[in-house]
Amino acid sequence: MKSGMGDIVMDRYAVIGNPIKQSMSPVIHRAFARETNQNLEYDKLFAEVDGFKPVVDAFFAAGAKGLNVTAPFKLDAFAYADSLTERARTAGAVNTLALQDDGRLLGDNTDGPGLVSDIRDRLGWRIEGQRVLVLGAGGATRGTLLPLLNECPALLHIANRTASKAVQLAEDFAAYGDLSASGLDKIPQAFDLVINASAAGLSGERPQIDPSVMGTGSCAYDMVYGAEPTAFLRWAEPLSASTADGLGMLVGQAAEAFYLWRGVRPSVEPVLSMLREALRNKVEAAAR
């Protein structure tokens, strides 16, 4: 489509959700585009809870190239896609749609790669050969299990308040690696890396686990992020753990989507620094 910049044609992308005003995806992808000299437009799309398909139909009919998908539409996008990557299929959810050369839409899930790249590449924490504990057995966990297992941890244990959900998830992924599962009160040993993917973090709480699950020199990662440390990270810090929140995962999964669309992998760190500063400024402004 014409962008108003002479005759330059701008490929069109967007993020769809409900609500959508809070999304930082346009800021992230526009920064990626500037860095990599890609000509594209990136906007926000709102859809009613039962209105995903008509909005997306119209978006791609107008010549769009790709779409990010946020809550509550990841299952809708899973059903909408013409084909799926393995990580999307195992996750049971799609957060990225990419138009292929044959006109078909590929559904992908970049959450897991975003998590792994943030932990392994940006933070420099090891996953391979490590004892990994994932807290929670919902969609956030399901979306990251295959990429984590592909890193070949020594073991991967899922713990959830309702133990049966963790056990079922471990059974679902048994073909991809060795997993174990339990309730939060039956976690079997100390771990090198503990990832909080539980719903507790969304409400400012933390999973109720014993401090003994944190091994010596362990790392604690919370998928939730904010201007201040989360409840889980505040709990882990006195246990001498290295800590990080999920802002890097947010930027990392966006970078993976950008690469899927454009074939260019953008730098994560400059955008992450920009978002971190914006969060700090927001808190400071609210305190004035």
Torsion sign (Cα): 81, 83, 85, 87: positive
24 annotated as belonging to a binding site for a ligand: yes
**pLDDT value of position 3:** 44
Percent residues over pLDDT 70 in the chain: 95
Pairing of strands 96-99, 66-69: antiparallel
Distance of CA 140 to the CA centre of its chain: 8
Percent residues over pLDDT 90 in the chain: 86
Give the pLDDT confidence of 262-284 residue by residue, as tens digits. Answer: 999 999 999 999 999 988 887 77
The b-or-e profile of 16-54 (16+ CB within 10 A means b, else e) is bbbebeebbbbebbbbbbeebebebbbbbbebeeeebee
Are the CB atoms for 164 and 104 separated by under 8 Å?
no
The b-or-e profile of 252-272 (16+ CB within 10 A means b, else e) is bbbbbbbbbbbeeebebeebb
36 annotated as belonging to a binding site for a ligand: no
Name the token pair of 226. Answer: 């904010």
25 annotated as belonging to a binding site for a ligand: yes
163 annotated as belonging to a binding site for a ligand: yes
DSSP 3-state assignment of 198?
coil
143 annotated as belonging to a binding site for a ligand: no
Contacts 24+ apart (CB under 8 A), 280-283: 280/227, 282/227, 283/227, 283/228
Average confidence (pLDDT) over 194-218: 89
Average confidence (pLDDT) over 189-203: 89
**pLDDT value of position 5:** 46
DSSP 3-state assignment of 121?
helix
* Catalytic residue selected from 2, 74, 186, 282: 74
86 annotated as belonging to a binding site for a ligand: yes
**pLDDT value of position 105:** 98
Are the CB atoms for 125 and 116 separated by under 8 Å?
no
Q: How many CB atoms lie within 10 A of CB 109?
A: 33
Residue 186 appears among annotated catalytic residues: no
Give the pLDDT confidence of 92-116 residue by residue, as tens digits. Answer: 999 999 999 999 999 999 999 999 9
More confident residue, 53 or 10: 53
Mean pLDDT (the chain) is 93
**pLDDT value of position 189:** 86
DSSP 3-state assignment of 37?
coil
